[in-house]
Amino acid sequence: SAVISQKPSRDICQRGTSLTIQCQVDSQVTMMFWYRQQPGQSLTLIATANQGSEATYESGFVIDKFPISRPNLTFSTLTVSNMSPEDSSIYLCSVEGTRQETQYFGPGTRLLVL
Amino acid sequence: QKEVEQDPGPLSVPEGAIVSLNCTYSNSAFQYFMWYRQYSRKGPELLMYTYSSGNKEDGRFTAQVDKSSKYISLFIRDSQPSDSATYLCATRRGNFGNEKLTFGTGTRLTIIP
């Protein structure tokens, strides 16, 4: 399975600011995914990011709030913009496994917005 | 109605017991089924995946899918304290690269030594 790292691992941010989360994979992957995990709720897909194309966002998530970059096959960033306390969550990067029906997850970024 | 329902627990069992974790789903188009284990302050780790109905065994873990009743189960035999974690079921419709996973909320499991 791929080894995935995320930076930062956690952060405390002020309302109205933005945070960029980095995801690095140790091998080239086509599909990268960004999820949100809020307490007591299911992991929710924010968007799918393919290298060389714009990210595809799920219902309820918009590019202005969660801009994503995918500059190459091993790296992606998710920015949480103009944050509010409701954005406090764990943000997880995921990549498609060698078997397409599986996905592997990074360790997550724990975000607290005050 | 959520597409995947999972009892959040918490569930506490003594060491050595058999653990049964369950999910139900509503969309009959789901074909692939996964179980992820998530330790505290870590990302989800893929534990088991199965295609369509039937059983799959891997060591102390058995994943079971009953598509007729839309029921997914994970059994853990001879449970160990190291099995204490949150277990997430997930489903997927197809084998396409952009198919998203639909998750249950997770069941928090504690194995008591």
The residue-averaged pLDDT of A52-64 equals 92
| pLDDT tops 90 at residue B82 | yes
Chain A contact present for B41, CB below 8 A: yes
Cα A54–chain centre separation:
14
Q: What is the mean pLDDT of chain A?
A: 92
Q: What is the pLDDT of residues B11-61, one digit of tens each?
A: 999 999 999 999 999 998 888 899 999 999 899 999 998 887 889 999 999
- E strands along chain A, which residues? 4-7, 10-13, 19-25, 31-37, 43-50, 56-57, 68-72, 75-80, 89-96, 103-105, 109-113
B6 to chain A: closest CA residue: A42
A91 to chain B: closest CA residue: B43
Q: Report how far residue B69's alpha carbon sits from residue B2's, in angstroms, rounded to the nearest whole number.
A: 16
Query: Mind telling me how many Å the CA of A33 is from chain B's nearest CA?
Result: 9
| pLDDT tops 80 at residue A100 | no
Share of chain A above pLDDT 70, in %: 97
What pLDDT was estimated at residue A96?
84
Residue predicted with more confidence, A104 or A81: A81
| pLDDT tops 80 at residue B94 | no
| pLDDT tops 80 at residue B96 | no
Which residues of chain A does B2 touch, with a Cβ-Cβ cutoff of 8 Å? 42
Distances (CA, A) of A92 to A44, A45, B45: 10, 9, 12
The residue-averaged pLDDT of A18-27 equals 97
User: If pLDDT is split at 50, 70 and 90, which confidence band does B69 have?
Assistant: very high
Three-state SS at A107: coil
Chain B contact present for A89, CB below 8 A: no
Which residues of chain B does A45 touch, with a Cβ-Cβ cutoff of 8 Å? 100-101
Name residue A41's amino acid.
Q
Q: What is the mean pLDDT of chain B?
A: 91
Chain A contact present for B88, CB below 8 A: yes
| Cβ neighbours of residue B43 closer than 8 Å, sequence gap 6 or more | A4, A92, A105, A106, A107, A108
Chain B contact present for A96, CB below 8 A: yes
Nearest neighbour of B34 by CB, restricted to A45, A102, A107: A102
What pLDDT was estimated at residue A2?
83
Distances (CA, A) of B102 to A5, A9, B34, B46, B48: 23, 24, 10, 14, 15
CB contact under 8 A, B104 and A4: no
